[in-house]
Chain A
């Protein structure tokens, strides 16, 4: 029905309201482990609290008990079970409870269960002998925000990688272009100014000669006009004398002999440093160079020139660089995208293989090729898959085994008598409780011949399938031999003869066998290494222990002692109200939370006190008292071993059932529910 569980959580809590918090805590942790949404967790916590409250109230009626919580997490759902060993209660209003009716009635009962049904996707209440289970299933809702998955699909690793490298490239290119552009333009402007300065100095040198030789105005004019023509970047050249009077003007001859006025925004007193000014929406440079002869200042050369040519040149080259960059970046992105394919394709390859593996192809191995990193991933993946398929095989094996155990358990259940025969003058009661799915205990009470009966309690060493097989053999062999042999000792001796040859090595069986003679009220008993019999003499009001000597069945005889020699048979005659108690070590070896054994002394004392107190003993009540005494001691912990006992009380009064009445006593077999994978079984 479901896929394999991912995780299983088992916990036990004392059924009291103050422990609800700890239950909630465990449930919350499980929900988080199942990666449920916050909203689901909140509602599940509520449902579990309602369930647990119901158990405390209705199953245990506020009396002490245990709530077992089992959470099994599957890939898409979680199964929560609350198990109790109390009273079975039909949840109120189970089935279809509707809110309107609840409001109409003005009652509160059943609201808890209504809430559980609303919150959980499926709710089941299973009640069997011994335990009740409230099983609730919650589906884990898939987190599926569409927008996010679309974005995710768009932004694959490759696209992200390309975008990032694109931006990084852009920044690097931008910064370097800016830097080189700045450097180039700086140098070009510097170069321009230097050229003009050199030119102005040449003019100044020549002009100095002209001043000394007192050349005419025309000659001065020719000098600067010729320079102006030869150098088109020179816009205006003006010569002034030491008093600032214009001697030559390249634009207008009429300015001669007038005082020189520098253009706005610049000063003619800053000498030898280029200055800039704006005029008619253009930027001009202006340089004043002194005309010297030795130390004497003769005048100044005022040069106005344009740097627009450089700007045009720069713009042109910038355009070219821009186009080149765009083309480079485009090719770069393409290259990066293609390159990322190279890196991503092994990942896609691994993904495909993993998909194949999930869809059941366990042999989907990854080829060990490619770069070192992918080689490692592939190897790790292959190892993981090998492990997984191994585990899967193991699980299949284990399931097969569990099935076998189940079958064996069913066999074993049929071995125990469903009904005890009713014995004349002997009131009997038997109890059996399995520790795990298969126990190694056996008991039987049956009639042999007219007035003889056999009572036997046995414990097979070991558990599981072999033990239960041995039990079925033992049961048959005892039954056959008991009807053929006269004495108890002879019966066991014959049984041993048979078993010794057929028993697996290392296995043995302990048996306490009683033969009761209904006519003489005599019991003959033998013990093959079994726990002693407790015998209560009613007239003496005391408990005696009978532990007849004997080796366990199935142990090959050594040279010194044979089984038959070791066996001791004891005979007793029963009197009114005498009582005997046969049991297995599951009773005396029951342990409490601190690992203390119950022990024979405690058992003897308990029986002694009980029997001294009661004037009229009912074996069925005594049996219940013993069980509850044991449960009190263990605190409802699972017993490690099966618990089996037979109680028999002699009643010689006349109102006994006749020998023919064989309707007998119903026997209750308790089977503790232990999940197949509870920790103490593995």
Chain B
């Protein structure tokens, strides 16, 4: 069956939390990711980078987590930045026009730098084609 593994890193750079997800985010596994995200928000950590390098499928349950939390996060001056999407996932992200509401970066460093450089939310870097 599909599986998911999530690791959380809240170290090196101040206030940026990194969530690394591997596997498939669908109806069955989305709950786990939501718990991790909720725990971050409860502790007022609103600058979040989600590393999706190991994720090859995200269903509505997965996207729903980001969509439903983004408003709260931004209201608190933070952002949820998605990094390292594989091309299959990125194509869906574009097709579904999630790029209008969520920011994505081709690499983890660029996502972190975006927090450093105080890029205004909504601005996104072009991914390599």
Contacts and interface: CB of A to CB of B under 8 A. Distances in A.
Interface of A: 17-18, 20, 39, 42-43, 46, 49-50, 53, 99-100, 102-104, 106-108, 111-112, 114-115, 118-119
B96 A103 contact: no
B101 A112 contact: no
Nearest to B28: A17
Interface residues of B, number: 26
B69 interface: yes
Interface of B: 1, 26-28, 57, 59-61, 63-65, 67-72, 88, 91-92, 95-98, 100-101
Given A43-B95, A119-B96, A103 B71 contact: yes
B11 to A, nearest CB: 29
Given A17-B28, A99-B101, A111 B95 contact: no
Chain A binding site: helix, strand, loop or mixed by DSSP?
helix
Contacts of A50: 59-60
Given A43-B95, A111-B64, 18 more contacts: A46-B57, A49-B26, A53-B60, A99-B100, A99-B101, A100-B100, A103-B67, A103-B71, A103-B101, A106-B68, A106-B72, A107-B68, A111-B63, A112-B59, A115-B96, A118-B96, A119-B95, A119-B96
A285 to B, nearest CB: 69
B27 A106 contact: no
Given A99-B98, A118-B96, A43 B91 contact: yes
Given A53-B27, A104-B71, A43 B92 contact: yes
Contacts, number: 63
A115 B95 CA distance: 9
Contacts of B70: 103
Contact of A42 (B69, B88, B101): B88
Nearest to B98: A99
Contact of B27 (A17, A114, A118): A17
B96 to A, nearest CB: 5
Given A17-B28, A53-B27, A108 B92 contact: no
Contact of A111 (B28, B60, B71): B60
Contacts of A99: 67, 97-98, 100-101
Contacts of A108: 60-61, 64-65, 67-68
Nearest to B89: A42
Given A99-B97, A111-B64, A46 B59 contact: yes
Main SS at interface, chain B = helix
A436 to B, nearest CB: 36
B27 A42 contact: no
Nearest to A109: B64
Contacts of B65: 108
A42 B100 CA distance: 21
24 contacts: A17-B27, A20-B27, A42-B88, A42-B91, A46-B59, A99-B101, A100-B101, A102-B67, A103-B101, A104-B71, A106-B71, A108-B64, A108-B65, A108-B68, A111-B63, A111-B64, A112-B59, A114-B60, A115-B60, A118-B95, A118-B96, A118-B97, A119-B95, A119-B96
Nearest to A116: B60
Contacts of B97: 99, 118
Contacts of A114: 60, 96
A21 to B, nearest CB: 8
Contacts of A106: 68-69, 71-72
Q: Which 3 A-B pairs have the closest CB atoms?
A: A108-B64, A112-B60, A111-B60
A111 B100 CA distance: 15
B63 to A, nearest CB: 6
B27 to A, nearest CB: 6
A104 B98 CA distance: 14
A389 B28 CA distance: 51
A103 B67 CA distance: 6
Residue of A18, A20, A46, A53 with highest tally of chain B CB at under 10 A: A46
B21 to A, nearest CB: 17
Nearest to B72: A106
Nearest to A50: B60
A111 B67 contact: yes
A103 B26 CA distance: 19
Contacts of B57: 46
A99 B101 CA distance: 8
A115 B57 CA distance: 14
Nearest to B70: A103
A111 B96 CA distance: 10
A46 B58 CA distance: 8
A50 B26 CA distance: 10
A31 to B, nearest CB: 14
Contacts of B71: 103-104, 106
Nearest to B74: A103
A1 to B, nearest CB: 26
Interface centre among B64, B70, B101 (most CB of A within 10 A): B64
Q: Which of A18, A43, A104 has the most CB of B within 10 A?
A: A43
A598 to B, nearest CB: 36
Nearest to A108: B64
Contacts of B68: 106-108
Contacts of A53: 27, 59-60
B42 to A, nearest CB: 16
Nearest to B59: A49
Contacts of A18: 1
B77 to A, nearest CB: 17
A103 B97 CA distance: 13
B96 A39 contact: no
A351 to B, nearest CB: 37
A111 B67 CA distance: 9
A80 B124 CA distance: 35
Nearest to B100: A99
A114 B96 CA distance: 8
A100 B100 CA distance: 9
Contacts of A112: 59-60
Contacts of B95: 43, 118-119
Nearest to A41: B88
